[in-house]
């Protein structure tokens, strides 16, 4: 029986080791401890990462920028922007984060695992072509999409980004590219300031960027309705061959950086929607990579809920999805606005 693949490595904990930062090694410590507990014994396959090469990183990043990050190797501390720093092993951890996603994509594509979660750091979706920002050094999910296309020959990649913060750099990486559908739900206006509903792509990529900017205070029901009413119809037309998820858990109700109200059951519910889409469209190929999430207990319970969905042991009680579907959805106005804008590009609307 195919299992779920999990990417993990102790080197990821060395990024920002002994440096005071909210994007701390403790994030992975609580997740790895959770994986090593009895409830997950024998239920996943550990996938060993390998470092991304400079040539691979140059699919998304300027080679000069890659060299600038490489030059931080061994340095006690380098501040790249007010939010983003490196410590002696950060460059190695960042290469391994991107390469870990590559290895997981390999395992999904060759059928070794049916889906997977890369529990890596540093995160990636804010890292621009030539600039580190928002705690991110290399854009793991954008690199993963390029890897799937360049190495595995895929033509249609869906990237879902449910982090609290808009994935500015992922959007910019594929803004003209009709082979990558980028779908983001995020708090707006908020850091980094991008992700307005009118940002839809340009040229041949027009319509292939779908932003659903949400005000603070949205919870499980609201996110579920957005994914069901906007993501699913568009994706059924796009017909992805692989689904990548930038999974940030800073929309968790108690996250110190966020203003949303998601719970572990909410993450499980939208994961189920995505898995059902993958079952119908792309042979169940879902590959998730960790982005934000800074409430340690919330991160642990939410990631556990997602992994349990991946392995078929859902935390959702019977009738929970139906309960989400019923009743009013407070973001209906933004859903209507997104549909109005995207109707020109997607006949499903």
Domain extents for the chain? Answer: 3-342
The CATH number that domain 3-342 falls under is 3.40.800.20
What is the SS3 assignment for 133-189? Answer: ECCECCCHHHHHHHHHHHHHCCCCEEEEECCCCCCHHHHHHCCCCCCEEEEEEEECC
Catalytic site includes residue 225: no
Catalytic residue among 126, 166, 172, 186: 126
208-221 as b/e: b if 16+ CB within 10 A: bbbbbbbbeebbbb
pLDDT (tens digit per residue) in 256-298: 999 999 999 999 999 999 999 999 999 999 999 999 999 999 9
Which residue positions in the chain have pLDDT lower than 50? none
- Tell me the two tokens of residue 28: 């992975």
Q: Is residue 273 a contact partner of residue 158, using CB atoms and an 8 Å limit?
A: no
Minimal CA–CA distance to 220: which of 332, 321, 139, 148?
Answer: 321
Cα separation, 347 vs 339, in Å, equals: 10
SS percent in the chain: helix, strand, coil, step 5: 40, 15, 40
Q: Is residue 187 a contact partner of residue 162, using CB atoms and an 8 Å limit?
A: no
Residue 329's pLDDT is 64
pLDDT (tens digit per residue) in 174-183: 999 999 999 9
Residue 276's pLDDT is 98
pLDDT (tens digit per residue) in 4-45: 999 999 999 999 999 999 999 999 999 999 999 888 989 999
Cα separation, 42 vs 339, in Å, equals: 43
Residue 328's pLDDT is 66
- Tell me the two tokens of residue 93: 């951890």
Model pTM score: 0.98
Residue 1's pLDDT is 57
Residue 12's pLDDT is 98
Residue 332's pLDDT is 83
The strand pairing partners of 4, in sequence order, are 44, 115
Residue 127's pLDDT is 98
Cis before 192 (ω within 30): yes
Q: What angle do CA 150, 28, 242 make, to 5 degrees?
A: 25
């Amino acid at each position: 029986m195919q299992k779920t693949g999990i990417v993990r490595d102790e080197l990821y904990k060395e990024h920002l080791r002994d440096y005071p930062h909210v994007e701390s090694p403790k994030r992975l410590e609580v997740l790895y401890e959770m994986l090593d507990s009895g409830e997950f014994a024998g239920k996943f396959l550990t996938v060993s990462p390998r470092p991304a090469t400079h040539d691979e990183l140059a699919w998304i990043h300027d080679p000069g920028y890659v060299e600038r990050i490489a030059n931080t190797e061994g340095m006690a501390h380098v501040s790249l922007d007010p939010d983003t720093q490196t410590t002696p092993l950060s460059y190695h951890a960042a290469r391994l984060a991107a390469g870990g996603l590559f290895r997981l994509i390999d395992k999904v594509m060759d059928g070794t695992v049916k889906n997977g979660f890369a529990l890596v750091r540093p995160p990636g979706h804010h890292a621009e072509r030539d600039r580190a920002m928002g705690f991110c050094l290399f854009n793991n999910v954008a690199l993963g999409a390029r890897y799937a296309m360049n190495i595995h020959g895929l033509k249609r990649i869906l990237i879902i980004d449910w982090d609290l913060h808009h994935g500015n750099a992922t959007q910019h990486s594929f803004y003209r590219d009709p082979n990558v559908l980028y779908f983001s739900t995020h708090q707006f206006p908020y850091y980094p300031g991008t992700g307005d509903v009118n940002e839809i792509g340009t040229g041949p990529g027009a319509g292939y960027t779908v932003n659903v900017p949400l005000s603070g205070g949205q919870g499980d029901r609201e996110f579920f309705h957005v994914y069901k009413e906007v993501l699913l119809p568009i994706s059924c037309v796009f017909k992805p061959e692989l689904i990548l998820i930038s999974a940030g858990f800073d929309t968790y109700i108690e996250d110190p950086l966020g203003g949303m109200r998601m719970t572990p059951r909410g993450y499980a519910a939208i994961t189920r929607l995505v898995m059902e889409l993958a079952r119908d469209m792309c042979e169940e190929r879902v590959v998730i990579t960790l982005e934000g999430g800074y409430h340690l207990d919330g991160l642990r319970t939410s990631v556990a809920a997602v992994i349990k969905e991946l392995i078929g042991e859902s935390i959702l009680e019977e009738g929970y999805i139906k309960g989400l579907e019923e009743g009013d959805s407070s973001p209906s106005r933004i859903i209507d606005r997104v549909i109005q804008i995207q109707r020109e590009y997607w006949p499903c609307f």
